[in-house]
């Protein structure tokens, strides 16, 4: 009887959990798998009919070309600089702005919040020419700084709303206790408030990083061959007459790695931060 129950339970777990999760994972990971195997296939195997699911012959020549002739590291460095700077700048400004919007009551607060939100209502292309013109006047065109500023015009408003929503849920009594214990505003913010905000800042930071890492439209306008970022560099492999699938897939595979690594660490911190925040709250 007990054995019957065990078999039933195993079957239930297998069909109810393991199998659907496995199917979902295959669905989710297959594009990444295909991207990788395409990058290590010789050209003839990429276009073979019927499809070759596992390379008969591995070649790393594409990666050699990618990091050699194509100088992909340069694009990775540019993307990393832009994404990290966008993230840090946006987090810094958004956190302070969101704090002010949440904790201070000043005239025009709601209007300002609405104005922040309205920025996201405009399509990116609409702002291309004005932003281009501004960047040119400021001498920021074709510099990573220009691209960072352009990205922050989109990431900051969103992050302000995101962080502000989180701050509202943080009890004001936490800061009051700190103020009563002798902290000033700045110290209370840094010592008490900021640690509680960690999970939210991580979530917002990951969002900003991803936005800047993957963005194409503005990057194609505000960079030149020296400051080009990964999405634009990869797009240049899609020509009028053909797609260099091997290079494109190799570039895609490499560009996914930093994001995966970041997520791996951010995820751990994110969960830890959430737990800590809940206990403190």
Partner 1 sequence: MKKALAILLALALTLSFAACGGPSSASSTPAPASSTSAAPASSTPADEPSGDPVALTFWYWADNTDQSNLIQQIVKDFNESNDKNITVTAEEYPWDSGGFTDSTFNAIMGGGGPDMSTMKLQAGKTFAANGLYADMSSYVDAWEDKAQIGDNVWEMMRNATGDGKTSILPWTLEALYVYYRPSYFEKAEVEVPTTFEEFLTAIEKCTMDMDGDGKTEYGFGMRGAGGGQEHLGNFLYPYGATWDDLTTPEAVEAYKAYLSIYQNGYAPETAPSAAFAELTDGFKTGLTAMIIHHIGSYAQWVDLFGDDVDAFPVPGSDKGQWTCAGDTELVVYEQCENKDAAFEFYKYMTVGEGGTTWFKNTGKGLGTSNVKETEEFKSNKFQAVAAEALKSAGVLPPTDTLTEFINNVWAPTNQQALMGQITPEEALETMNKALHG
Chain positions contacting partner 1, by CB under 8 A: 44, 47-50, 65, 69-70, 78, 81, 84-85, 88-89, 92, 128-130, 132-133, 136-137, 139-145, 148, 190-191, 194-195, 220-221, 224-227, 232, 235-244, 247
207 CB-near residues (< 8 Å, 6+ apart): 155, 158, 159, 162
Looking up tokens 């690594």 gives 261
CB of 159 to partner 1, least distance (A): 15
CB of 26 to partner 1, least distance (A): 23
C-alpha pair distances (Å), 8 with each of 15, 18, 22, 23: 10, 14, 20, 21
153 CB-near residues (< 8 Å, 6+ apart): 119, 127, 131
Report the residue number, 84 or 112, with the smaller CB distance to partner 1: 84
How many residues comprise the chain? 281
Report the residue number, 105 or 137, with the smaller CB distance to partner 1: 137
Report the residue number, 95 or 253, with the smaller CB distance to partner 1: 95
Q: Could you tell me where the DSSP H helices lie in 189-244?
A: 194-214, 217-222, 230-235
> What is the C-alpha separation between 125 and 1, in angstroms, rounded?
67
Report the residue number, 6 or 133, with the smaller CB distance to partner 1: 133
CB of 145 to partner 1, least distance (A): 3
Report the residue number, 12 or 136, with the smaller CB distance to partner 1: 136
End-to-end CA distance of the chain: give it in Å, rounded: 48
CB of 244 to partner 1, least distance (A): 6
Instruction: Please state, as a whole number, how many other Cβ atoms lie within 10 Å of the Cβ of residue 201.
Output: 21
Report the residue number, 143 or 214, with the smaller CB distance to partner 1: 143
CB of 137 to partner 1, least distance (A): 8
CB of 93 to partner 1, least distance (A): 10
Question: By three-state DSSP, how is residue 86 classified?
Answer: helix
Instruction: Please state, as a whole number, how many other Cβ atoms lie within 10 Å of the Cβ of residue 177.
Output: 13
């Amino acid at each position: 009887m007990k054995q019957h129950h065990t078999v039933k339970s195993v079957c239930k777990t297998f069909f109810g959990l393991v199998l659907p999760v496995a199917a979902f994972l295959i669905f989710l990971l297959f594009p990444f798998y295909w991207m990788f195997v395409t990058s290590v296939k010789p050209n003839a195997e990429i276009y073979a009919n019927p499809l070759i699911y596992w390379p008969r012959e591995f070649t790393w020549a594409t990666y050699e070309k990618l990091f050699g002739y194509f100088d992909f590291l340069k694009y990775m460095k540019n993307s990393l600089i832009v994404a990290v700077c966008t993230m840090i700048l946006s987090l810094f400004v958004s956190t302070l702005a969101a704090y002010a919007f949440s904790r201070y009551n000043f005239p025009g607060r709601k209007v300002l919040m609405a104005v922040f939100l309205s920025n996201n209502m405009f399509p990116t292309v609409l702002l291309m020419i004005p932003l281009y013109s501004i960047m040119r006047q400021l001498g920021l065109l074709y510099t990573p700084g220009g691209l960072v500023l352009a990205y922050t015009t989109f990431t900051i408003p969103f992050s302000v709303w995101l962080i502000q929503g989180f701050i509202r849920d943080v009890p004001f009594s936490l800061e009051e206790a700190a103020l009563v214990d002798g902290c000033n505003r700045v110290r209370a913010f840094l010592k008490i408030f900021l640690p509680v905000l960690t999970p939210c800042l991580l979530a917002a930071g990951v969002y900003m990083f991803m936005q800047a890492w993957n963005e194409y439209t503005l990057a194609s306008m505000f960079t030149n061959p020296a400051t080009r970022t990964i999405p634009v560099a990869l797009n240049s492999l899609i020509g009028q007459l053909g797609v260099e699938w091997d290079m494109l897939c190799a570039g895609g595979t490499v560009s996914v790695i930093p994001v995966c690594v970041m997520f791996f660490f951010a995820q751990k911190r994110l969960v830890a931060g959430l737990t800590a925040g809940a206990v403190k709250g």
